[in-house]
Structure 1
Amino acid sequence: MVGTELTEESVEAVVDPARIHIPVMRDRILELLAPALEAPGSIHVDGTLGMGGHAESVLQACPTARVIGIDRDPNALAIATNRLEGFGDRFTPVEAVYDELPEVLEELGVRHIDSMLLDLGLSSMQIDRRERGFAYSVDAPLDMRMDGKQELTAAGVLNTYEPRDLVRILRVYGEERFADRIVRRVVAAREVEPFTDSARLVQVISDAIPMAARKTGGHPAKRTFQALRIEVNAELEALEGVLPAALDALTVGGRLAVLAYHSLEDRMVKNLFRTGSTDSAPRNLPVVPESMQPELRLLTRGAEKASEDETIANPRAASARLRVAERIRRAR
């Protein structure tokens, strides 16, 4: 699980990952996490390492901190490892899904952590690499796997799932209001020929959506591609698993930062943070016992957004929503 090696594919991007990867809300995240990383030997976990931009910033800004970088994508992990090799044993790469956090920490002999970052969604490399099939703007194989070793692909979902399951995925994960219309077209098309590439799927989606609706809300395939990606990689299940595990791993004074890019992710984070930052005492109780006091303190007021200047420089930051919470008490 721990460690990685460079592949021919990843070597190409090692040349200068900083040139193609702009960490979203980097300065604000550092501002909120750095106070938890001042003590020598403090531990930060980057649960979505990507190409290492956020991790590099933490290592530079917090010179006595150690960073554990987790990613399920071996190529991204290899690129980040190469990028961060100058930090020596202050950086530890781990190939895993972030909801495996308890197992990762146990393997490394780490009981508690001082901060953690989850930058959800896709990395720049995954979007920009045509063969990964994440982008709807270019024709590519319908893959969408973050981990190429897993079997399920977007093509597999489209070609084998029952219509009712496809409708559910598009409605829930993509919040697609034309899910029924799209699925009817998809089912009819796959009976003629199985789906293999994105261009054909984009055309089917565009034909299914009413003309008036295509003129608003961005690319007509955006929501369907999001839904397929979430299903293929079980993203919401992984997030549901990592959030309580991350909070449980935090020491008192430790901080968890989450960057979400769509409402489903952000809602999960919001609900968990709200519950943790609210006391559990009955409303009319004059004094709240310590055992019923909040375990978290919210460090962001609602979900913070990237500045206008940042979104101009990095359009992918436009949909980012940042929430950060600090553990102030551990349950007994």
Structure 2
Amino acid sequence: MNSPSTPPIPPSGPRHVPVLLDRVVALLAPALSHDGAVMVDCTLGLGGHSAAVLERLPAARVIGIDRDPEALRRAGERLAPYGDRFTGVHAVYDELLDVIEGQSLDRVGGVDAVLFDLGVSSMQLDVRERGFAYAEDAPLDMRMDPTRGLTAADVLNTYPVAELTRVLREYGEEKFAAKIARAVVRRRETEPFTTSGPLVELLYATIPAPARRTGGHPAKRTFQALRMEVNDELGVLRRAMPASLEAIGVGGRVVVESYHSLEDRLVKNVFAGATRLDVPPDLPFVPEGAEPALRLVTRGAEQAGPDETADNPRAASVRLRAIERVKPFLPRGATS
């Protein structure tokens, strides 16, 4: 079927402005310009990136993964005009290889592109009942898939001080992690946490006034840390990155947008390891066949420009990286 002339407008309700959209599509285009090309959008959300790919790259098909059933529903409505060029799958993106296998693609050599736009979506932030935002009192949920797993309230009400401290320090880079953790445990002994309002009040009371005046809202780091813990975001990403490199065929690309230093560091390290020469450093030449199977497409991490950051504050922290496969994937232990 023919693609619409412009990407469909998402249904009424929360809207998400994709960060670095034109650059992302430009990075994907060389891998998706041939007939039968397949991209896996591992973080479908409201379908903004997928809509742009389907519109601008008419040879491409998209498999969209999201753990959030409501995101899948909304994206499905938005992308319905593209017919069978779009398929939505309810899964966590570290299940990437299983999702691809389940599509029974009539092809060899892997898919052509994999896209990650990490972090929480505007849809999740904007829906009060999801509990991701700290601007108003709401249930402390924060699950991207609200049908399973621990909630943020469960974490606050059950984790010991040491474990809460680790979560706040590691995922939120919170200087006052131990102090906050102790305050949380003291409060829950008399009244368990159920909504965000009391937690925000506790943070205001616990974080020293000089620190509250810098670095944004004092609840920002704690809410980020709880969200990352509830959804095992780094664990999922740690498993998904090698799978994404395995999933692409020759000429295929993996494009990643991250918004947290821990996420970007993980992606950077995986990409660096995949493109490193496995020969002695003093060897005067690279033996034939010893070249890395992948190459970096971006030089370091690309960032959004001032105009985009002004229009979309979420773009301020983005780090964009891309990698391309130049040699076939060989299972571990295999030889060419």
- TM-score relative to the length of structure 1: 0.93
Q: How many Å apart are 1:104 and its aligned residue?
A: 0.5
3-state secondary structure, aligned to 1:192: coil
Deviations 1:31-83 (A, max 9, x none): 11101111100101100000000000000111011100000000000100010
Which residue does the alignment assign to 2:128? 130
Q: Which residue number in structure 2 is paired with residue 8 of structure 1? A: none
State the secondary structure of the residue aligned to 1:318. helix
Decide which of 194, 214, 217 is 2:215's aligned counterpart.
Answer: 217
Question: How many residue pairs end up in the alignment?
Answer: 319
Q: 2:16 aligns with which of 18, 21, 26?
A: 21
1:105 alignment partner AA:
I
* Structure 1 residue 177 displacement after superposition: 1.2
- TM-superposed CA distance for 1:289, in Å, is 2.7
Structure-1 residue corresponding to 2:186: 188
Q: Which of 236, 257, 260 is the equivalent residue of 1:259?
A: 257
The alignment's C-alpha RMSD in Å is: 1.4
Among candidates 32, 41, 45, match of residue 46 of structure 1: 41
For residues 40 and 263 of structure 1, what CA distance do their matches in structure 2 show? 37
Residue 101 (structure 1) aligned with residue 96 (structure 2): yes
- The amino acid across from 1:97 in the alignment is V
Name the counterpart of 1:318.
Answer: 316
Quote the Cα distance in structure 2 between the aligned partners of 1:206 and 1:299: 44
Say if 2:241 and 2:267, in contact at 8 Å, map to a contact too: yes
Which residue number corresponds to residue 3 of structure 1? none
Q: For residue 82 of structure 2, what is the amino acid of its counterpart?
A: F
Q: Are the counterparts in 1 of residues 10 and 46 from structure 2 also a CA contact under 8 Å?
A: no
Which residue is 2:279 aligned to? 281
Aligned to 1:10: none
Could you list the per-position Cα deviations for residues 281-308 of structure 1 after superposition, in whole angstroms to 9, with x for gaps in the alignment? 1111222234432222111121111121
* TM-score, normalised with respect to structure 2: 0.92
Equivalent position SS for 1:280: coil
Q: Aligned partners of 2:128 and 2:92: how far apart in 1?
A: 23
Paired position in structure 2 for 1:58: 53
CA–CA distance in structure 2, aligned partners of residues 302 and 200 of structure 1: 41
Change (3 A) 1:249 1:205: same
* CA displacement, residues 241-261 of structure 1 (integer Å, 9 cap, x when unaligned): 110000001111111011101
2:3 matched residue in structure 1: none
Name the counterpart of 2:201. 203
C-alpha displacement of 1:94: 0.4
Q: Distance in 1 between matches of 2:264 and 2:320?
A: 8
| Uncovered stretches (5+) of structure 1, i.e. residues with no partner | 1-12
Asked whether the equivalents of residues 257 and 321 of structure 2 are also in contact (C-alpha less than 8 Å), the reply is yes
Q: What amino acid maps onto 2:283 in structure 1?
A: L
**Counterparts of 2:198 and 2:104, CA distance in 1:** 49
Structure 2: state its 5+ residue gaps. 1-8, 331-335
| Equivalent position to 2:294, from 280, 296, 304 | 296
Amino acid at match of 2:179: R
1:15 CA displacement: 2.8
Distance in 2 of aligned mates of 1:257 and 1:73: 21
Counterpart for residue 234 of structure 2: 236
Residue identity in the other structure for 1:31: A
**Residues 281 and 293, structure 1, Cα contact 8 Å, conserved in 2:** no
Q: Deviations over 1:130-169 (max 9, x none)?
A: 1100011111100000001113100000000111110111
**Identity percentage of aligned residues:** 58
Q: Could you say what secondary structure the match of 1:67 adopts?
A: strand
SS in 1 for 2:63: strand
Q: 1:135-150 counterparts in 2 under 5 A? A: 135-150=133-148
Mapped contact 1:51–1:79 kept (Cα < 8 A): yes
Q: Deviations over 1:227-277 (max 9, x none)?
A: 100110111111011100000011111110111010010000001111112
Greater Cα offset, 149-158 or 313-322:
313-322
In structure 2, the residue corresponding to 1:254 is in which secondary structure?
strand
Whole-angstrom distance in 1 between the partners of 2:264 and 2:26: 21
Please tell me whether the aligned partners of residues 132 and 223 of structure 2 are also in contact (alpha carbons under 8 angstroms): yes
> Distance in 2 between the 1:290 and 1:223 partners?
49
State the one-letter code of the partner of 1:55. S
What are the within-5 Å matches in structure 2 for residues 171-182 of structure 1?
Answer: 171-182=169-180
Maintained 8 Å contact 1:138/1:198 = yes
User: Structure 2 residue aligned with 1:35, among 30, 33, 36?
Assistant: 30
